[in-house]
């Protein structure tokens, strides 16, 4: 069949009369030819098939749109990390972040092996904005950005934004746990820290190291450069 064929040259009864056959035409064109229109109406019996008074193809498209929208909502609701815009420990997402901006550094070690952070901690997948504590890369630098200098967050709050555990009893960070014969050592600015690791304040150029061992690595400083 070519596009120049007229409606008068096409007999839809021949299509309906073919016993035991289902004829399907896939017409790859931006515009339907008169032949296609009559063929569709003929195969439908009389006029266009409808669902509740609406053409079947419109009903199908509407259902697809609803399904995609519902799926997107469920995905965002279940998304891990900082996928929600609700405040975390009183910290907003993308609100009033221009008054205070400093940087701290975090190093993590398990049995002498470095555990790397990654970029995007504190990033909201929903609103495409940052929480006040976040990372831009895997260097270990924590960006502390809040409304003013009264914002003095702690390492525990950073782990809360990360949605990862940091125990008060020095037994776990992330999925790494102290095993038999092991301990967790905590250093702040290369010096042993004996307090609750969740309470360590993230001030400008503070360096923090959490180590589960042995073995243990000597804590090193970090060159913040122009940060």
What is the average per-residue pLDDT within 54-80? Answer: 51
- Phi, psi angle pair for 63, to nearest 5°: -65, -40
Whether 19 has a pLDDT exceeding 50, the answer reads no
Sign of CA dihedral 155, 166, 137, 74: negative
What pLDDT is recorded for position 217? 87
**Residue pLDDT, tens place only, 68-85:** 445 544 444 434 344 457
Distances (CA, A) of 213 to 44, 210, 218: 74, 10, 12
Distance, in Å, from the CA atom of 47 to the CA atom of 40, rounded to the nearest integer, reads: 8
Asked if 15 and 41 count as a contact pair (C-beta separation under 8 A), the reply is no
More confident residue, 95 or 15: 95
CB of 107 within 8 A of CB of 219? yes
Mean pLDDT of 5-20: 46
**Smallest Cα–Cα separation from 124: which of 154, 95, 149?**
95
DSSP symbol at 198: G
Share of the chain above pLDDT 70, in %: 63
Q: Which residue has the higher pLDDT, 21 or 50?
A: 50
Range of weakest confidence among 4-13, 87-96, 122-131, 174-183: 4-13
- Name, in order, each residue with C-beta under 8 angstroms of 53's C-beta and a sequence gap of 6 or more: none
- Overall size of the chain counted in residues: 227
Lookup result for tokens 């993308």: 94
For 83, counting Cβ atoms within 10 Å of its Cβ (0-12 exposed, 13-18 middle, 19+ buried), the class is middle
Binned at pLDDT 50, 70 and 90, residue 22 comes out as: very low
If pLDDT is split at 50, 70 and 90, which confidence band does 86 have?
confident
The tokens for 64 are 């697809």
Report the distance separating Cα 177 and Cα 55, nearest Å: 60
Kindly tell me the burial class for residue 153, based on how many C-beta atoms sit within 10 Å of its own C-beta (0-12, 13-18, 19 or more).
buried
Task: State mean pLDDT over 162-168.
Answer: 96
- pLDDT, position 149: 86
């Amino acid at each position: 069949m070519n596009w120049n064929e007229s409606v008068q040259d096409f007999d839809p009864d021949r299509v309906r009369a073919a016993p035991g056959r289902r004829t399907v035409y896939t017409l790859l064109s931006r515009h339907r030819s008169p032949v296609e229109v009559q063929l569709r109406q003929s195969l439908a019996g009389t006029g266009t098939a409808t669902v509740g008074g609406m053409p079947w193809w419109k009903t199908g498209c509407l259902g697809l749109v609803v399904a995609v929208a519902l799926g997107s909502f469920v995905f965002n609701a279940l998304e891990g990390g900082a996928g929600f815009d609700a405040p975390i420990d009183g910290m907003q997402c993308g609100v009033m972040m221009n008054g205070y901006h400093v940087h701290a550094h975090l190093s993590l070690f398990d049995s002498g092996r470095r555990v790397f952070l990654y970029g995007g901690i504190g990033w909201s997948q929903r609103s495409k904005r940052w929480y006040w504590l976040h990372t831009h890369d895997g260097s270990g630098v924590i960006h502390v950005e809040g409304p003013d200098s009264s914002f003095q967050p702690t390492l525990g709050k950073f782990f809360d934004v990360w949605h990862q555990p940091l125990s008060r009893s020095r037994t776990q960070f992330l999925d790494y746990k102290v095993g038999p014969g092991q301990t967790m050592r905590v250093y702040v600015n290369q010096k042993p820290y004996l307090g609750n690791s969740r309470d360590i304040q993230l001030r400008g150029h503070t360096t923090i190291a959490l180590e589960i061992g042995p073995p243990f690595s000597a804590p090193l400083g970090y060159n913040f450069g122009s940060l």
